Amino acid sequence: MKGITKTFPGVRALDDVTFSVARGSIHGLVGENGAGKSTLMKILNGVLYADTGEIIVDGQPCRFKDTKEAQAKGIGFIFQEFNLINTLTAAENIYLNRLKIRAGRIAWKQVNQDAQALIDELGFNFSVTEKIIDLSAAQKQLVEIAKALSFDAKLIVMDEPTSSLTTNEIEKLFEIVKKLKSEGITIIYISHKLEEIYSICQTVTILRDGQIIDTQPVSSISKNKIIELMVGRSVDMEFPKRNTVPGEIVLDVQNLTRRGIVKGVTFNLRKGEVLGIAGLVGSGRTELAEAIFGAEKHDDGIIMVKGKKVAIHSTYDGKSNSIGLLTEDRKETGLVLDFNISKNITITNLPKVSKSGILINRLEKQYAQQFSDELGVRTPSINQLTINLSGGNQQKVVLAKWLFSDVDILILDEPTRGIDVGAKYEIYLLINQLAEQGKSIIMISSELPEVLGMSDRVIVLNEGKKKGELSRDELSAEAVMHMIIRSEGENGGNN
Amino acid sequence: MVETIKNKINIGSTLRNYGVMIGLVVIIIIVSIVEPAFFTGNNLLNILRQSSAIGLCALGMTYVMVAGGMDLSLGSTVSLAGVIAIMIMNSIGVTGNADVAAVIAVIAAVTAGGLVGLANGVILATINGRLGESFIITYSMQIVVGALALLVTGGQFIFGRFPEQLYSKLGTGLSPILIFAGLAIVMQLGLAKTNFGRQTYFLGANMNVAKMAGIKVKQLRVINHMICGMCAGLAGIIITSRVYSASPLQGTGYELDAIAAVVIGGTSLMGGSGGIHKTILGVLVVGILANALNVVGVNAYAQLIVRGAIIILAVGLDGLNRGAAIKGLVS
């Protein structure tokens, strides 16, 4: 890709970018959110057009009008979010649009055979006649890869392919990626997780503010150097320290149960404390949070806020009892992306910006500006639609919205998912600031180092049960994993 | 480069925002030239009077649609409310004080509308239904409510037998215009300027976000449907007052005319956008167009084709705009 420039209203997303990838290599592409990675890849894929510049594939200049033309040139795409139809089978998804027809009917046998061959070749074994909805995240990812391979992709772009995979599944994916490489397929690998870049890529390109900053073999560049180039300044990778002593108990959860999902969880949370919840994906962490906040009903158990037993049957009840939940999916449940920053912030506490039910424009602007500034949302104006913000800035708006609600107990479910290193660090600082102001925080995260680095105390969940609790002094990755594994052993014994 | 793109976007958004108004002015100018009788005070008042019943329905429909729903039961609610009002007038209004009876009839009709809305809202909130469910549920409700109107009247047309006092004034002269205008102002403020309105926009834009922000989503849905039903009740009063009679089929098709006015005004079928101010324009377009076609002398059946085409055009433009908005914002 040569001299690519792309502008959006008010933003120059890519500025004269020249980017080349050697055949048969795994090429990492990193950059903060909003650096232009996705835009660049979308141009390569024909989703967007470049204003200037050209794409050269195997020495031939091309211009893709749509994704089909890109496909025809052997460029496949695997997005962060799955692009599969849940109610169809894996085989149907792989050959969607290109189902083989024989004698006027779909040749199912042939289609299934071909699809199965692709999956088998990738070294996985599950049946392609299963519906997507019944597959695990890793299997879905595989279906995406098989789909790309099915039209002879020579170049596959993977955009954050591991964001919804477990550690085990990630390892399997890496094996497959390496296998593809050995077969001469070129991979462009986009990720926020630098460990991944180091474990599979040969070369890494760093993109910042729409410009290529550097391209280096991964063997000759340090992790800190990459981060520095990404954010344009040196970043302290340690978790920021805070000076708080947890106070009295503000939330006391006893024997909380959601049939089949959360099994009798008991814990408490103190004023000014950051309580981490560790556990694998599917361990019931999110489900526990939803029950406390009132998004889902609980079947049994007691929730006490500041010493008083409270009845929480709805999210309104949760909020009224000073509990807020920052959900793990900010795009689906955190923000209305078509609405501006201001509206998204004030929605949790409209009475604060109104008099007898009537919105006061001036108050709303003033508060929204104040909270947006306090959280350091980078935007020209609070009237900016949140869809135009980067992931990190969107997350700050979601945080702002919950701070504006004046709740004292804040549950953060994956607060740093899909945001870049620089923004993560800012979120950590904000969490510390909140704890110092006397808010109590429950932090759920799949990234164990984050839980360990930020929490005063950690509870470990597995299969809906609380498996133990670790104080600051006892905290270590080994201790957490030990609790999870020990409990898996127990369960194995019970079965 | 950036400048040209900005300009393009500005033209696009101008068309999106003011297209209806521009279209309206163009229609008025053309028809006025072709047929001078169109642009006279009398005819314009006439248009407003004729538009007021559909207008009231469209106001209610706007609330439900901004909230991400739909109310197809609106037409038969108009019929039922009208039938109830006239039956009350024919009994109490004849034996007792006709003015008191009018007040009772109005309260009864609006309450009936509110109850239909309550039923719609409670069912939809309970099953956590989305747009698709709201189509089917309210369509079924249309059948049920329509049947109720037929049952209470025995399928008969009811002539007014009450003295022509207060009730008859509600739908004639300036009063329907004033009722529509007054309610439009109140409902515009309610949607644009209150906590309730803001929450309604969030509900329509993304129900999950609304729920997770601690909004009482179910209650909000019920209230919006009740408001819509009550508007239909009012429309039933205006119509029956004007024609001094009631038919159990009076409101047939009103829901589609109301949807047409709302969509032409620019409120999206997808919820979370638009507003009463847009619907007012939509109502005027529908009303003026119908009148203009009459004045110019277009065949009544051909008029139906024009009406259908306009709705298709409005929904089509809405879809295209949404597509354009999404393309332009991809990053």
pLDDT at residue A494, rounded to an integer: 39
8 Å CB contact of A351 and B196? no
Count of residues for chain B? Answer: 331
pLDDT at residue B234, rounded to an integer: 97
Query: Which residues contact residue B204 at a Cβ distance below 8 angstroms, ignoring those fewer than 6 apart?
Result: B65, B66, B67, B68, B69, B270, B271, B272, B273
Identify the sign of the CA torsion A282, A285, A288, A293. Answer: negative
Tokens 């500041």 belong to which residue?
A: A306
pLDDT tens per residue across span A129-150: 888 888 877 788 888 888 888 8
In eight-state DSSP terms, residue B194 is: B
The pairing of beta strand A440-444 with beta strand A274-278: parallel
In eight-state DSSP terms, residue A347 is: G
Q: Which residue does chain A place closest to B200, by CA atoms?
A: A347
Tell me which chain A residues have a C-beta less than 8 angstroms from the C-beta of B329.
8, 385, 387-388
Answer whether A288's CB lies under 8 Å from A280's CB. no
Q: What is the pTM of this model?
A: 0.78
Q: What are phi and psi of B272, to 5 degrees?
A: 80, 0
Question: What gap in Å lies between CA A13 and CA A191, rounded to an integer?
Answer: 19
Question: What gap in Å lies between CA A82 and CA A403, rounded to an integer?
Answer: 32
Tell me which chain B residues have a C-beta less than 8 angstroms from the C-beta of A327.
212
Q: What does the mean pLDDT of chain B come to? A: 89
- Give the count of alpha carbons within 13 A of B239, CB side only: 30
- B190–chain A nearest CA distance, Å: 8
Question: What gap in Å lies between CA A425 and CA A448, rounded to an integer?
Answer: 15
Strand order in the sheet with A186-190: A75-78, A155-159, A186-190, A26-30, A203-208, A211-217
The pLDDT of residue B317 is above 90: no
Answer whether A304's CB lies under 8 Å from A252's CB. yes
- Give the count of alpha carbons within 13 A of B298, CB side only: 15
Dihedral angle, C-alpha A172, A174, A178, A183, nearest 10 °: 60
pLDDT tens per residue across span B183-202: 999 999 999 999 999 999 99
Which tokens is A107 given?
């040749």
pLDDT at residue A220, rounded to an integer: 87
SS3 of A213, please? Answer: strand
Q: Please give the average per-residue pLDDT across B279-308, as a whole number.
A: 88
Q: What are phi and psi of B214, to 5 degrees?
A: 80, 25
Tell me which chain B residues have a C-beta less than 8 angstroms from the C-beta of A354.
194-195
Tokens 């997780």 belong to which residue?
A: A193
Question: To 10 degrees, what angle do helices B276-296 and B175-193 make?
Answer: 150
pLDDT at residue B2, rounded to an integer: 39
**Spans of chain A below 50 pLDDT:** 10, 489-495
Which tokens is A459 given?
């509870």
The pairing of beta strand A105-106 with beta strand A101-102: antiparallel
8 Å CB contact of A334 and B212? yes
Tell me which chain B residues have a C-beta less than 8 angstroms from the C-beta of A320.
214
SS3 of A374, please? Answer: helix
Q: Cα–Cα distances in Å, from A87 out to A100, A101, A133, A149, A315? A: 20, 21, 6, 22, 30
Strand order in the sheet with A308-310: A262-270, A249-258, A300-305, A308-310
SS3 of B49, please? Answer: helix
8 Å CB contact of A357 and B9? no
Which range (A421-425, B12-16, B120-124) has the least confidence? Answer: B12-16
pLDDT at residue B11, rounded to an integer: 62
pLDDT at residue B325, rounded to an integer: 55
8 Å CB contact of A348 and B213? yes
Answer whether B329's CB lies under 8 Å from A337's CB. no
Amino acid in position A333: T
Question: What gap in Å lies between CA B206 and CA A76, rounded to an integer?
Answer: 32
pLDDT at residue B282, rounded to an integer: 93
Question: What gap in Å lies between CA A440 and CA A322, rounded to an integer?
Answer: 10
The pLDDT of residue B327 is above 50: no
Tell me which chain A residues have a C-beta less than 8 angstroms from the C-beta of B209.
332-336
Q: What are phi and psi of A331, to 5 degrees?
A: -75, -30
Which tokens is A275 given?
């309580």
Answer whether A261's CB lies under 8 Å from A287's CB. yes
pLDDT tens per residue across span B143-185: 999 999 999 999 999 999 998 889 999 998 899 999 999 999 9
pLDDT tens per residue across span A74-96: 888 887 777 788 888 888 888 88
Rounded percentage of chain A residues whose pLDDT exceeds 70: 93
Please choose, from the candidates B109, B115, B227, B249, the residue with its C-alpha nearest in 3D space to the C-alpha of residue B167: B109
Comparing CB atoms, the residue among A316, A324, A332 nearest residue B208 is: A332
Comparing CB atoms, the residue among A7, A12, A347 nearest residue B198 is: A347
Tell me which chain A residues have a C-beta less than 8 angstroms from the C-beta of B330.
42, 47-48
- Give the count of alpha carbons within 13 A of A191, CB side only: 23
Comparing CB atoms, the residue among A315, A333, A351 nearest residue B195 is: A351
- Sorting pLDDT into bands at 50, 70 and 90, what band is B1? very low
| End-to-end alpha carbon distance in chain B | 18
Comparing CB atoms, the residue among B209, B214, B330 nearest residue A42 is: B330
- B215–chain A nearest CA distance, Å: 6
How many CB pairs below 8 Å do chains A and B form together? 101
pLDDT tens per residue across span A341-356: 999 999 999 999 999 9
Q: Which residue does chain A place closest to B7, by CA atoms?
A: A9
Q: What are phi and psi of A313, to 5 degrees?
A: -115, -10
Tell me which chain B residues have a C-beta less than 8 angstroms from the C-beta of A357.
194-196
Please choose, from the candidates A167, A173, A180, A109, the residue with its C-alpha nearest in 3D space to the C-alpha of residue A141: A173
Answer whether A156's CB lies under 8 Å from A148's CB. yes
Q: Please give the average per-residue pLDDT across B304-318, as a whole number.
A: 82
The pairing of beta strand A354-355 with beta strand A300-305: unpaired
Comparing CB atoms, the residue among B214, B328, B330 nearest residue A316 is: B214
In eight-state DSSP terms, residue A221 is: S
Which range (A424-433, A473-482, B35-44, B49-58) has the least confidence? Answer: A473-482
Q: Which helix (H) or strand (E) holds B46?
A: helix B41-66
Q: What domains sit in chain A, N to C, each tagged with a CATH number?
A: 2-231 (3.40.50.300), 249-494 (3.40.50.300)
Question: What gap in Å lies between CA A65 and CA A323, rounded to an integer?
Answer: 49
Question: What gap in Å lies between CA A156 and CA A285, rounded to an integer?
Answer: 34
pLDDT tens per residue across span A11-61: 567 878 888 888 888 999 888 766 778 778 888 888 777 778 878 887 788
